[in-house]
């Protein structure tokens, strides 16, 4: 089995993690949450001899989508987002992009559903709907590789804020318990901000549980 390669670029005023992932020996990569500076993301990936096959979004807040337009212009890659998140991602007031002085409205090319499996660049992603940080937040589970890209649902010994539009603290805690903590302990979690962690670590040390 080809090993999964995970690259990270930290971008924007919120220090958001933009990930690009590919199978060893393959040139197609999938970008997760192009937070800002889409042309820069494209150039960094191109330098490594990779091409962008798809863009996955964990949710619609501005600090996860500001780079989408430029990255799409450079690559033609399609965007994927949970269908329940479109009312937020398409509304500059709800996605908080007004804070940046630039109003952004994003409608994905492909709306995905909870439990759906996507095969992109030879990698299988299972969509896990995890409402809480926003009502349409989701995570992407790569079962074969033991990896979850979890956006702002759960962080290293913390969880995402729920005081923004469509947020819910009770929903978020339920999402983590039901969708994340039910995965194998050795599954690695790659969040939207900060360092990676694991299911086992968060079950033991996350103070919110």
* Assigned token pair, 172: 């978020």
Q: What is the pLDDT of residue 98?
A: 86
pLDDT at 135 over 90: yes
- Looking at the chain, the whole-number percentage of residues with pLDDT higher than 90 is 96
pLDDT tens column, 94-118: 999 988 888 999 999 999 999 999 9
Q: What is the pLDDT of residue 1?
A: 65
Host H or E run for residue 69: helix 68-75
**Average of per-residue pLDDT across 49-64:** 98
d(CA 190, CA 32): 11
Q: To which residue do tokens 């992603």 refer?
A: 125
All structural domains of the chain: 4-205 (3.60.15.10)
pLDDT tens column, 13-51: 899 999 999 999 999 999 999 999 999 999 999 999 999
């Amino acid at each position: 089995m080809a090993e999964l390669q995970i690259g990270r670029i930290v971008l924007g005023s919120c220090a958001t993690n933009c990930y690009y992932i590919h199978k060893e020996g393959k040139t197609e990569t999938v970008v997760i949450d192009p937070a800002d500076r889409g042309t820069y993301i494209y150039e960094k990936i191109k330098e490594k001899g990779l091409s962008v096959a798809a863009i996955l979004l964990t949710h619609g807040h501005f600090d996860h989508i500001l780079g989408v337009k430029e990255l799409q212009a450079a690559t033609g890659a399609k965007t994927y987002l949970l269908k329940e998140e479109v009312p937020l991602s398409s509304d500059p007031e709800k996605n908080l992009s007004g804070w940046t002085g630039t109003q952004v409205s994003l409608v994905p090319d492909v709306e995905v559903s909870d439990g759906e499996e996507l095969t992109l660049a030879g990698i299988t992603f299972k969509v896990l709907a995890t409402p809480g940080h926003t009502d349409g937040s989701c995570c992407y589970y790569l079962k074969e590789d033991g990896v979850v890209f979890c956006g702002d649902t759960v962080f290293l010994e913390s969880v995402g804020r729920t005081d923004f539009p469509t947020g819910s603290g009770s929903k978020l805690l339920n999402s983590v318990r039901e969708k994340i903590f039910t995965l194998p302990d050795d599954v690695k979690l790659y969040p939207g901000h900060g360092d990676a962690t694991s299911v086992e670590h968060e079950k033991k040390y996350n103070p919110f549980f």
